[in-house]
Amino acid sequence: MQFVLGYEISNIIDYRIVTNENNNNQKEIVNFLIEWTGHTEKSWEPFENLDHCIPLLSDFFLKIYQRSIFEYYNLMLKVNID
């Protein structure tokens, strides 16, 4: 089981890259669309909230890799942890 903020994650469905502007400094952030166990609503969660969900993230990244190597490498660059 993978939990975030006390809720169990059922699946990682998609991702999006958003630009966060902070003091004229733009930073791209990756958010993941999460499906929660026992809930119908989905939510966008930042990568930082999912850092302990390695098995689910690995499965999701594999799906992206199988879809497009270019998309996979681009995503990996965006989620690179400093």
Residue 3's pLDDT band (cuts 50, 70, 90):
low
Q: Does the global pTM surpass 0.75?
A: yes
Residue 72's pLDDT band (cuts 50, 70, 90):
very high
Domains along the sequence of the chain with CATH: 3-78 (2.40.50.40)
Residue 5's pLDDT band (cuts 50, 70, 90):
low
- Strand-pairing partners, residue 31, are 16, 46
Predicted confidence (pLDDT) per residue in 23-59, tens digit: 777 888 899 999 998 889 999 999 888 878 889 999 9
The confidence score (pLDDT) of residue 7 equals 77
Enter the tokens of residue 74. Answer: 């681009």
Residue 19 gets the label, from left (phi > 0), alpha (psi -120 to 50) or beta, of beta
With beta carbons less than 8 A apart as the criterion, state whether 42 and 13 touch.
yes
Residue 82's pLDDT band (cuts 50, 70, 90):
very low
